[in-house]
Amino acid sequence: MNIIFNLFMSFLDIKFWTGPMLGATAQGLIWGIMVLGVYITYKVLDVADLTVDGSFATGGCIFAVLVVSGFDPTISLLIAAIVGGVAGFVTGILHTKFKIPAILSGILTQLGLYSINLRILGNAANMSIGKIDTNIKFVSTFFSITQQQAGLVVGLIVSVICIILLYILFGTEIGASIRATGNNSQMIRALGVDTDKTKLMGIVLSNMLIGLSGALLVQMNKYADVGMGKGAIVYGLASIVIGEVIFRKIKNFAVMLTSSVVGCIIFFAIRAIVIKLGMDANDMQLLSSIIVAIALSTPIIKEEIEKKRSYRENTKNFVKK
């Protein structure tokens, strides 16, 4: 009863909505860009790419080093995205040219990136950019709003731009080839399409978005860390499944992309609520795993329930006849 009462009081607490929940929404939008990248490999290409945890941190580390060195933050964002794409290119080459299974290729790249990220940060585990001007800091100063509010604005703008660009891209011949490769690689190969190239393009595009997301998170948190991508693939999968459950009846591609970002916002909102209820922050990885397990198993459980219900109805109709 105490949990229910605390949950009810949380929803009545204005400070909760303007503090932790606002921050969770901003985080969800920024991480949602990473989820779009995971969506491309997991749902469009049907490839299990575990490069995510490494390329996310790489994008953040590259951005931090560049802005500290005096580079323009917007240019630094683009470079971070490109470097994330390079990480994806390595995974793609290992998978397509050397025929290493996708999941193992991603693990190999992810492991290598940890050492590379340390080198990028000058063998330091983290780097602060608190006093450096960034896009989020500019928005915060220009509109006289808080860091969290500015992060929400920038995250929303970048997320919308990414969804629009992806929708346009996947409506082109190249985009259609990438989607067809994920649906039926043998058929599209028989039509003369080089599936190795389409897989490579999809993995590179995915990790560009992931690197961009990592760079934006560094702006939001004001520091980069070599372990900042830990658990990113878990967040991505959970967000995709949550989004699919909510928008399961709508098959429009733009809505499917949007549902991934919405799912990420809900995921971080759940985390914020649980922390508000008194859960130890050290248990967040356990909570994340539980959320993912529930999100992944829910569609299967619902499908089994519907099958049994359909079977019982058919049996009853047969008996009546």
Domain-located, residue 276: yes
Residue 131 in 3-state DSSP? coil
What is the predicted pLDDT for the residue at 42?
93
Kindly state the tokens that stand for 144.
């006289």
In this prediction, residue 51 carries a pLDDT of 97
Residue 30 in any domain: the answer is yes
Q: Which helix (H) or strand (E) holds 126?
A: strand 126-128
Q: Strands 126-128, 223-225: parallel, antiparallel or unpaired by DSSP?
A: antiparallel
The reply to whether 294 falls in a domain is yes
HEC per residue, 38-80: HHHHHHHCCCCCCCHHHHHHHHHHHHHHHHHCCCCHHHHHHHH
Q: Which of 113, 212, 102, 233 is nearest to 165 (CA)?
A: 212
Residue 179 is assigned to a structural domain of this protein:
yes
Q: Cα torsion for 172, 177, 182, 184, to the nearest 10°?
A: 130
Please report whether residue 4 resides in a domain.
no
Residues 182 and 117: their CA atoms lie apart, in Å, by 31
In the chain, which residues have pLDDT < 70?
1-19, 281, 317-321
234 within a domain of the structure (yes/no): yes
Q: Which domain holds residue 256?
A: 11-320
Coil, strand or helix at 142: helix
Give the 3-state secondary structure of the chain.
Answer: CHHHHHHHHHHHCHHHHHCHHHHHHHHHHHHHHHHHHHHHHHHHCCCCCCCHHHHHHHHHHHHHHHHHCCCCHHHHHHHHHHHHHHHHHHHHHHHHCCCCCHHHHHHHHHHHHHHHHHHHCCCCCEEECCCCCCHHHHHHHHCCCCHHHHHHHHHHHHHHHHHHHHHHHCCCHHHHHHHHHHHCHHHHHHCCCCHHHHHHHHHHHHHHHHHHHHHHHHHHHCEEECCCCCCHHHHHHHHHHHHHHHCCCCCCHHHHHHHHHHHHHHHHHHHHHHHHCCCCHHHHHHHHHHHHHHHHHHHHHHHHHHHHHHHHHHHHHHHHC
C-alpha 116/C-alpha 118 separation (Å) is: 5
At 296 the pLDDT is 74
Instruction: Give whole-number Cα distances, 281 to 30, 169, 272, 290, in Å.
Output: 20, 39, 10, 15
> So what's the pLDDT on residue 287?
77
The pLDDT, as a whole number, for residue 254 is: 93
Q: Which pLDDT does position 301 carry in this prediction?
A: 85
1 located within any domain: no
Contacts of 101 (CB under 8 A, 6+ apart): 95
Angle at 103 (CA atoms; ends 62, 58), nearest 5 degrees: 5
Is 248 among the domain residues?
Answer: yes
Residue written as token pair 């259609």: 176
**Residue 191 DSSP label:** T
Instruction: Give the domain CATH number at 160.
Output: 1.10.3470
| Cβ atoms of 49 and 106 closer than 8 Å | yes
Number of domains in the chain: 1
**Per-residue model confidence (pLDDT) at position 318:** 63
Asked whether 158 and 216 are in contact (CB, 8 A), the reply is: yes
- Give yes or no for a contact between 212 and 57, defined as CB atoms under 8 angstroms apart: no
> Residue 238: its pLDDT value, please?
85
